[in-house]
Structure 1
Amino acid sequence: MKATHLKIIGCTLLIAMLACRSGRQQSASERPNIIILFADDMGYSDLGCMGSEIRTPNLDQLAREGVLMTHFYTTSRCCPSRASLMTGQYAHRVGMGHMNYDWELPSYRGFLTNGAVTIPEVLQTAGYRTLMTGKWHIGDERPNWPIDRGFQRFYGIPAGGGVYFWPPVGLERPVYLDDRQIEPEAGWYSTDAFTTQAIEFIKVAKKEEKPFFLYTAYIAPHFPLQAWPEDIARYAGKYDAGYDAIRRARYEKQQKLGVLPPNLELSPADFGDWAAVEDPAFEARRMEVYAAMVDRLDQNVGRLMAALEAEGLAENTIVFFLSDNGGCPNGLNNTPEADLGSPTSFVAYGKAWANVSNTPYRLYKAMEQEGGLLTPLIARWPAGIRQPGRITHEPAHIIDFMATCLDLAGADYPQSVGDDPVLPPVGRSFLPQLRGEEADDKRPLFWEHEGNQAVRQGPWKLVKRHRKAWELYNLDEDPTELNDLSGQYPEKQRALLSAYEAWARDNGVRDWPVPH
């Protein structure tokens, strides 16, 4: 098959799939609209409902009116997470084993490859209007853009993130409407603009009387730290107490909220004494701007929900919210203190604040410990979730989104497209978990990124950093991965390692660094 990658949109090859659907296909009036809101580099504890001091009333309300999943696994990096979300596959299997670079190896192409079918490609054949705004980052060039991979409408950035105010500083990130490059107007801020266009897309979909699938992939709160002055002002002085005080306050709030069990041990701090920080005002300011970016993200979730209410769509729309990975330890600082947060700012919040963001877990983005992998998942659907306000600690994985969306839409996964086979799905629907059913999930789950590796099955997790020894944890007893049991359970370690090695072979995982 040539590198057109199953370009299914409008393709007559898929029309036949409509006739092959099972009897579980629902009528258009019954099928919910589906919205996935995706944050970028947001840490585990950065929402109010997860223990944060950051003002997130709209997302907190979604959690109260829906379900909060505290153990939703992503991959540990943005491109692989986006690939797994869109396809229901492990990222290596569909060409996204690393980032958006083409190393001309099957698992490292930097775009979705042959055999991958996306959620919008399948839902479009089921009569859904398919819409996207935001950051794509799983295929920078045509024919690998959202409009080539199932989205009928697209507004945003095909390449990576790092864009808030316009024009971006030091980055080439053109903005497109469908396939046409546009020039943002004065006052453009990506978080606001992505929401505004999403609302416009929803209004058109309603007029067409079709259910819709909307994927809005925000760039926030990924660095560089840039926010509106009025949002930053809301957090003036909020972080003057320093890393440890904020982290401990979040940990205590998490326990009170039921996000953590009362006996969970907080992982050791990965920062020094605040009193020894060379420039505490600058460090506090970093977190003030980061908080402002999360705050603005929450404001836009509120705008989107208000639009659904105004259009009469809120009752039968399921809204998901999650992040692509844990907090980022990047310590980038290319901006004078006076400019921090401005349109010219190019600063990250650094490892210490990322440790706070990932409370109570260890380590960060790009690593396979829980701090790099876990995100809260919020799901709100008044017509379908009958016991709102529940918190579930059962694990699920980002590869499960494909099966879940098809379950919601009553659509069937294709076995082939014309003469071309489609990779069989590896995820499973977590819709039963959202409805309060217990998950009897004994499958192993796998991760690899830049030589960092992990496998989890049941409560057992085997994990390692690149070029370091494997460590074994019982997450039921030790959720923060503090007590390595590798010397005590050699048979368990061998079994998990064997499963990981088989998965790595099947998915084309290469030793890091990958030769190219």
Structure 2
Amino acid sequence: MIGLAMVGVLGALAILPGCNDDDDNSETLSLPKQPNVVFIMADDLGYSDVHAFGGEIETPNLDALAASGRLLTNHHTGTVCAITRSMLISGTDHHLVGEGTMGAPSDERKGLPGYEGYLNDRALSVAQLLKDAGYHTYMAGKWHLGSNVANVDAPVALGTIGQTPDQWGFESSYALLGGAANNHFGHEAAGSKNYTENGAYVQPGQPGQPGGAGGSPEVFYSTDFYTQRLIGYIDAHKGDGKPFFAYAAYTAPHWPLQVPEPYLSKYKGKYDAGYEAVRAARIQRQKDLGLIPKDFTPFAGEAETLTVSAPSANNGTASARYISAVHSVADGYTDYGQGHYNKKWSSLSDLEKKAQARYMEIYAGMVDNLDHNIGLLVQHLKDIGQYENTVIIFQSDNGAEGWPIGTNAGGGFPANAASLDPKPVDEANAVEPVYSTLGTDNGLAAAKRLQYGQRWAEVSATPFRQTKGYMGEGGVGTPLIVHLPGQKKAAANSTVFTHVTDITATILAAAGVTPPSTPAPAAINVLTGVDANKGKVVYDNRYVYPVSGKSLVDVLLGKSTASVRTDAFGDESYGRAYLTSADGKWKALWTEPPFGPLDGHWELYDLSADRGENKDLSVTNPAQLDQLIQQWSSYMGNVGGVEPLRPAGYY
């Protein structure tokens, strides 16, 4: 049931000035010299999960930022966590700086430049550039860009440079090094090396650490803890006159689904109507809020699959020739893997529905708790007199996590999880003694990897197609809210294409920092004639790739409504690919079969009329599609991207 406070928020949002581009409610905005910057990253949060973007989850603190800020409704990231984070820190394409895939690939690309699996030495760091410009730089939360701690005692020949945040310009940092917490309540195994503080391994959840669940100093819950750690870093230098950059890299609502009370029970019964009903309600709210046009056609939803589609005959054999973005059926490539189960609500048993509804209740609680902590962070800025001097930016790192639910013991996810019917896991989770423990602190070093599955992720992605790991708008489109210093009113939504690298450029521009631009000297390989320093610049005695994102400062200040991008934009990961035309109208999209077209053709969508990606126009517009594919091929050459011989998502 929606409480009275939430009804007030709903009413306020329904009449928010500036909720669409036709509203005239501008105010004169300017940026102070070297403002503070707080960048908040959610983990695997879907486009519509935030209430200001159409969701039913209570997020009053983000709603308040939206009511005195700007929504950027056409924002894009990478397909998965580490890829996006590498682009945020470096300001450029992930293939250039070590995260061609999330972590080092295990296929034929292993060892290639750009596929190191950590932020490589050819990357800039937004934190280091800000630190050089006189900023304090703080980070708490998920790093996912390398785990080696610097060994200052090692001989130079063996390498002394680490990969943790302290080595990339963060003055103070508490970091989860990998991609996911084993348990949001801590309980790390003795001797684990999953967390560092300022470059030294630490164990979360130990007595004496501040900011635990329920306010107890000895109880650790990740979202609560990261907030308090970041506040502590800010307060350590409060009043010294220096600006600060604070990166709140939350791990919610990434699995395992866990949250303390009262959030664990708050949404009980809220999702009993099922996927389709919740998604339809979100679409209606998005239209009411002006986030999408009244005549917008949302993605219709993935087709129901009650059986697993068979792979091609040669799948998994040495003779397999896999269809890819560069290898078509016409060229003799015919192989692909198997499909997976994907049921609609009406096809679930009563026990499956009970478990599935509970998963989403817990997920919603995690989002609600995340919003609560964002509110604490914002209130602290007000308490120390820095709110009016701070740029606040909020986004997710990619689309919603739609990992298929497997059936192995413990509800984890084996390599072939996509082939397995989730029914046994769901029904086992719906009965006691398991059901009552879902989402709770089990006190162990590893929690059950509780997920909410493909259909709830589709709901989170509303109104778009596909989810995390894919190149559809639901996989790479995320909410973005920006609040500027002194801003009191909601500015008109920005609907032009933006990308996470633009956020890097924007942060630097707001801080008055000019990224390095002196070209690196040529380094020609005498055998190949290739210049190893092509496109690089000089910084701190290194040759690095420059920031390629475009500053959004003029857009945010209301000085421009035009796109900051004048070139086509492309990306690739795990063999999946897309390219959006320079004018933002056309999008070429490639997804491997059976999740994309079985013949492996590139799809074409007119985003100006169909951002829901419902109508493939590849057959009627072949010349337009060919042009985009050629531009994508040029993009891959420019960034050193290598299409894998077997495209496959990261699941």
TM-score, L = length of structure 1: 0.91
Q: Which runs of 5+ in 2 are unaligned?
A: 1-30, 150-161, 207-217, 305-342, 406-410, 413-428, 442-446, 519-537, 594-599
Correspondence for 1:151: 170
- Which residue matches 1:179? 199
Residues 1:80 and 2:83 are matched in the alignment: yes
2:165·2:175 contact (CA, 8 Å) conserved in 1? no
Match of 2:397 among 320, 324, 346: 324
- Please give the residue correspondences for 1:170-319 in structure 2 after superposition, counting only pairs within 5 Å: 174-183=194-203, 184-185=205-206, 186-270=218-302, 272-278=343-349, 279=351, 280-319=353-392
**CA distance, structure 1, for counterparts of residue 632 and residue 192 of structure 2:** 38
Counterparts of 1:341 and 1:250, CA distance in 2: 25
| Cα offset, 1:141, TM superposition | 1.2
Provide the rounded CA distance (Å) in 2 between the counterparts of 1:365 and 1:29: 37
Residues 275, 418 of structure 1: CA spacing in aligned structure 2 closer, same or farther, 3 A cutoff? closer
- Give the Cα separation in 2 of the matches to 1:300 and 1:39: 12
Task: State how far apart, in whole Å, the 1-side matches of 2:262 and 2:566 are.
Answer: 48
Higher deviation after alignment, 300-309 or 373-382: 373-382
For 1:139-166, what per-residue CA distance to the aligned partner results, in whole angstroms no more than 9, with x for missing partners?
Answer: 1113111000111110121222234112
Aligned position for 2:515:
413
Letter in 1 for 2:100: G
1:214-269 CA distances to partner (integer Å, 9 max, x unpaired)? 11111100111111131021101000111111000000000001111111112112
Cα contact 2:62–2:374 (8 A) shared by 1 = yes
Q: Does 1:397 align with 2:499?
A: yes
Q: CA–CA distance in 2 between the matches of 1:191 and 1:51? A: 23
Match of 1:431 in 2: 553
C-alpha contact (below 8 Å) 1:224/1:347 kept by paired residues: yes
| Structure-2 separation of matches of 1:491 and 1:86 | 37
CA shift for structure 1 position 513: 4.8
Quote the offset at 1:418 in angstroms.
Answer: 4.5
Q: Which has the larger radius of gyration?
A: 2
Residue type at the aligned position of 1:363: Q
Q: Distance between the aligned counterparts of 1:418 and 1:173, measured in 2?
A: 30
Structure 2 counterpart of 1:21: none
Listed one character per residue, the Cα deviations across residues 418-467 of structure 1 (whole Å, up to 9, x for unaligned) are 44322122111012221221124332111111110000012110001025
Matched-pair contact (CA < 8 Å) for 2:391–2:484: yes
* Structure 2: distance between partners of 1:58 and 1:482: 34
Tell me the residue number matched to 2:74: 71
- The answer to whether the aligner puts 1:93 opposite 2:108 as a matched pair is no
Query: Do the aligned partners of 1:62 and 1:379 also contact (CA within 8 Å) in 2?
Result: yes
Look up the SS of the partner of 1:37 in the other structure.
Answer: strand
- 137-146 or 331-340: which moved more? 331-340
Residues 171 and 393 (structure 1), Cα distance of their counterparts in 2 relative to 1, 3 Å cut: farther
| SS class of match (2:96) | helix
1:140 and 2:238 aligned: no
Structure 1: distance between partners of 2:190 and 2:567: 44
> Corresponding residue for 1:361?
464
Say whether the 8 Å CA contact 1:80–1:97 is kept in structure 2: yes
Task: Write out aligned runs for 1:442-481 (5 A).
Answer: 442-457=566-581, 458-466=584-592, 468-481=600-613
In percent, how many aligned pairs have the same letter?
35
State how 1:342-361 maps to structure 2 within 5 Å: 342-343=440-441, 344-361=447-464
Verify the 8 A CA contact 1:339 1:345 in the aligned structure 2.
no
Q: Is the Cα contact below 8 Å between 1:445 and 1:455 reproduced in 2?
A: yes
Q: How many Å apart are 1:171 and its aligned residue?
A: 12
Which residue is 1:4 aligned to?
none
Q: Which amino acid aligns with 1:475?
A: L
* 8 Å contact from structure 2 (residues 33, 512) kept in 1: no
1:274 is displaced (CA, Å) by 2.2
Residue 167 of structure 1 corresponds to which residue in structure 2?
A: 187
Q: Which amino acid aligns with 2:74?
A: H
* In structure 2, C-alpha distance between the alignment counterparts of 1:88 and 1:171, rounded to whole Å: 34
Flag the 1:173–1:296 CA change in 2: closer, same or farther, 3 A: farther
Other-structure match for 1:114: 121
Whether the 8 Å contact between 2:266 and 2:365 is mirrored in structure 1 is yes
| Contact 2:99-2:119 within 8 A present in 1 as well | yes
Q: Deviations over 1:91-139 (max 9, x none)?
A: 0011111112373211110111122111011111110111100010011
Provide the aligned length of Structure 1 versus Structure 2.
Answer: 487
Change (3 A) 1:173 1:224: farther
Cα distance in 2, alignment partners of residues 420 and 96 from structure 1: 19
Q: Given the superposition, is the C-alpha separation of residues 46 and 418 from structure 1 closer, same or farther in structure 2, using an over 3 Å criterion?
A: closer
1:53 alignment partner AA: E
Give the Å deviation of 1:273.
4.1
Q: Which one-letter code corresponds to 1:165 in the other structure?
A: F
- Residue type at the aligned position of 1:450: Y
Uncovered stretches (5+) of structure 1, i.e. residues with no partner: 1-27
For 1:59, the equivalent position in structure 2 comes to 62
Instruction: Report the secondary structure of 2:140's partner residue.
Output: strand
Distance, in Å, in 2 between the alignment partners of 1:172 and 1:99 is 22
- For 1:487, the equivalent position in structure 2 comes to 619
Q: CA deviation at 1:170?
A: 12
Please give the alpha-carbon distance, in whole angstroms, between the structure 2 residues aligned to 1:94 and 1:426: 12
* 2:494–2:561 contact (8 Å) kept in structure 1: no
Contact in 1 for aligned 2:344/2:455 (Cα 8 Å): no
- Tell me the TM-score normalized by structure 2: 0.72
1:129 aligned partner: 136
Residue 422 in 1 paired to residue 547 in 2?
Answer: no
SS at match of 1:477: coil
SS in 1 for 2:262: helix
Instruction: Give the partner amino acid of 2:544.
Output: V
Per-residue deviation, 1:207: 2.8
Q: What is the RMSD of the two structures over their aligned residues, measured on CA atoms? A: 2.0
What's the secondary structure of 1:399's corresponding residue? helix
Partner of 1:49, secondary structure, is helix
SS of aligned partner of 1:41: coil
31 and 348 in structure 1: CA distance in 2 versus 1, 3 angstrom threshold: same
CA–CA distance in structure 2, aligned partners of residues 53 and 169 of structure 1: 37
Alignment of 1:340 with 2:438, yes or no, is yes
CA contact (8 A) 1:447 1:454 kept: yes
**Contact 1:135–1:160 (8 Å) recurs in 2:** yes
Moved more, 204-213 or 112-121: 204-213
Asked whether the equivalents of residues 319 and 380 of structure 1 are also in contact (C-alpha less than 8 Å), the reply is yes
Cα distance, 1:500 vs structure 2: 0.5
- State the alpha-carbon separation in 2 of the partners of residues 29 and 269 from structure 1: 45
Aligned equivalents of 1:47 and 1:511: distance in 2? 35
- Do the aligned partners of residues 376 and 29 (structure 1) sit closer, same or farther apart at CA in structure 2, a change above 3 Å counting? closer
CA contact (8 A) 1:69 1:378 kept: yes
